[in-house]
Amino acid sequence: MEVVHLLEKYQKVRNHTVALCKPLKTEDYIPQPIVDVSPPKWHLGHTTWFFENFILAQFQEKYTIFKKGYNYIFNSYYESQGPRVKRHTRGDLTRPTVADVMEYREHVDQQMLAFLQSGKLSEEVADFIALGLEHEQQHQELLITDLKYTLGLNPLFPAYRPEIKYPQELAQDTIRQEYITIEEGVYEVGHSGDDFCFDNEKQSHKVYLHAYQVLDRLVTNREYMEFMEAGGYKQPHLWLMEGWEWVKNEEIQAPLYWEKHYDEWKTFTLYGLQDIDSEAPVTHVSFYEAEAFARWKNKRLLTEFEWEVACKKLSPSVSEAANFVENDALIPLGRKKGDYQMLGDAWEWTNSAYLPYPYYKQAEGALGEYNGKFMINQMVLRGGSCVTPKNHIRATYRNFFHPDKRWQFTGIRLAESC
C-alpha cells in the first residue's frame, strides 16, 4: 500500500474508533460482565498499544514509551511481549482513566502520523501497519458487540444510539427461500493476490466438493421461533452431547437477548428493547443452536469451503452487501425482504473446525501469535456481520469462536447434500 493511502487509512480507522465512543457516558467505558467482553476503555488502549509497541517502539528512532505500565495493562495475549493483566480483570481497573487513555491515543497518533509522513517505511513496516489497522477494525466490531452485551444486562435496556429509530420491516409477508445448487468439482479456496489478508487465509489451495445446495438467505427469527415452539430446546436427540449439556447447565431457552414480556418475545438491540422482527435473520445463536436447528429441519450447516465457493458464486460486491452506517457508527439497519446474500448480515456458523490450511506457515515472533495458536477447539464462521467494517469483509475471511459463544452477530444458513 502506498504511503499516502496508508496515511489516509490510518487517520480514517483511528478516528472512526473514537467516533464509535461518542454516544457513551463515562460509566460505559469500564464494566466487564464476562471474560469474553472487554470494556470500551480497554479496546481504545489496546489498539493504541499495538501501534506503539509493534511500530513506534521497534522502528522509530529514539521513541520513548508513553507509560511503561501500559504494556502490562493493554497487552492482550502476546506472550512474547511480557506479562499482562488477566483477561477477566480488565474491567476491574478504574485507572488509567478514560481521559488518560484518550491522551494516550492522541500521543501515539501524533507520533504515528509523523512516522508515516517521514517516508521511512520499509515493506515490512508498511505491512505491519496495515495489519494494525485491520486489527483495529476487528476491535471496532468487538467494541460494539461487547458494549451491547454490557448494556443488555441493564434492566433499563439503555440504547446505544437512542436518537436513531429502530428500522421496521416494510412488509409483513414471509420472505421467499430458494436453494441454489453448487455442482461437484475441484475448487480453489483461500486467499490469493496482493491485497491484505490474515495469515490464516493462506495459502490458496484446491478442495474437492460433492454437489450440494445452499439456502440463498439466512434463517429468520420466525423460523427459529417455530423451532422453539416445537420444543427444540427440550429434545436431546437434536443436540450434540456438549450442546445438550450446555443447554441444561446454562438453562438456555432462546437466542441471546430474547426475553419474554407478557407472553411475547422481545429482543434487546442497539436501539433498546424491541419487538422481534419475524423476517429478519436470527442472530446471537451458538454453534450448538445452529447445528440443532439444522438437524431439526433435516438440513445441515455448510463446511467453510462450501461456504466460500457459494459466496464467490452468489454474492454481490462487498460494497453492495454491507449494511451499516459507516461515517458515524456501525449500526445494523435491517434489510428489505428478499435482499439477503452472504456478506455483511451475520457471521455464519460453519461445520468446520478452525485448523490451518495445507500450506499454512506460522510467522516467527509476535506475528505468529496473532492466529495460529488459536487453532484448537474452535469453529469457523464466515461472511462478516452487520457491524463488521465494510472494507474489512471478504469471501476468504475466517473468523473463529468456541461453539458456545453467541455475543457476536452469529446466524444460520442451511445446506443439504445433493
CATH number at residue 209: 3.90.1580.10
Distance of CA 289 to the CA centre of its chain: 18
Inter-axis angle of helices 3-20 and 98-117, nearest 10? 170
What digits encode the pLDDT tens for the residues 373-386?
Answer: 999 999 999 999 98
**Domain's final residue, options 152, 167, 188:** 152
* 343 found inside a domain: yes
The boundaries of the domain holding residue 74 are 3-152
**Are 378 and 400 spatial neighbours (Cβ–Cβ below 8 Å)?**
yes
Contact partners, residue 360, CB within 8 Å, separation at least 6 = 199, 200, 202, 203, 372
**Whether 184 and 297 share a structural domain:** yes
Chain mean pLDDT for the chain = 91
Position 163 in a domain: no
Q: Are 103 and 48 members of one domain?
A: yes
Between 363 and 147, name the one with better pLDDT. Answer: 147
Domain end point (choices 133, 152, 171): 152
Q: Would you state the cell numbers that stand for residue 150, as one nine-digit string?
A: 454490557
Identify whether residues 141 and 264 lie together within a single domain: no
pLDDT of residue 176: 77
Domain end residue (candidates: 152, 170, 202): 152
Q: Do residue 227 and residue 375 come from a single domain?
A: yes
Q: Are residues 197 and 112 in the same domain?
A: no
Q: How many domains does the chain have?
A: 2
363 and 234 in a common domain = yes
DSSP string for residues in 123-168:
HHHHHHHHHHHHHHHHHHHHHHHHHHHHHHTSTT---SSTTSPPP-
Domain presence at residue 315 = yes
Considering the domain architecture, whether residues 190 and 321 belong to the same structural domain is answered as yes
Write out pLDDT tens, residues 15-42: 999 999 999 999 999 999 999 999 999 9
What percent of the chain has pLDDT above 70? 91
Q: Is residue 189 part of a domain?
A: yes
H/E segment holding residue 319: helix 318-321
330: its cell numbers:
456501525
Q: Find, among 189, 218, 213, 214, the residue nearest to 203 by Cα.
A: 189
Q: Considering the domain boundaries, does residue 173 fall inside one?
A: no
What pLDDT digit, counting tens, does each position of 226-283 carry? 999 999 999 999 999 999 999 999 999 999 999 998 889 999 999 999 999 998 899 9
Q: 333: which 3 cell numbers?
A: 439497519
Length of the chain: 418
**Are residues 119 and 237 both part of a single domain?**
no
Q: At 410, phi and psi to the nearest 5?
A: -105, 135
| Beta carbons of 6 and 115 less than 8 angstroms apart | no
> Could you give the CA distance from residue 233 to residue 130 in angstroms, rounded to a whole number?
44
Q: Which of 170, 407, 411 shows the shortest CA–CA distance to 268?
A: 407
Q: 350 with 415: CB under 8 angstroms?
A: no
215 and 327 in a single domain? The answer is: yes
Closest C-alpha to 42, from 25, 28, 23, 56: 28
pLDDT digits (tens, 9 = 90+) for 281-317: 999 999 999 999 999 999 999 999 999 999 998 875 5
- What's the mean pLDDT in 378-401? 95
Closest of 161, 29, 50 to residue 109, by C-alpha = 50
Q: Is residue 161 included in any domain, yes or no?
A: no
pLDDT at residue 330 tops 70: no
The residues, ordered by sequence, that sit 6+ positions from 356 with a Cβ below 8 Å of its Cβ are 200, 362, 372, 375
* Distance separating alpha carbons of residues 350 and 303, to the nearest angstrom: 5
Among the listed residues 383, 175, 150, the one whose alpha carbon sits nearest the alpha carbon of residue 268: 150
Domain assignment present for residue 172? The answer is no
Half-sphere exposure of 371 (CA within 13 A, CB side): 22
**Residues 31, 150 contacting (CB under 8 angstroms):** yes
- Same structural domain, 195 and 340: yes
The answer as to whether 29 is a domain residue is: yes
* C-alpha neighbours within 13 Å on the C-beta side of residue 221: 17
Question: What confidence score (pLDDT) does residue 177 get?
Answer: 85
pLDDT value of position 340: 53
Together in a domain, 116 and 201? no
| CA 400 – CA 372 distance, rounded (Å) | 12
Q: Do 190 and 93 share a domain, yes or no?
A: no
The Cα 60–Cα 308 span in angstroms is 40
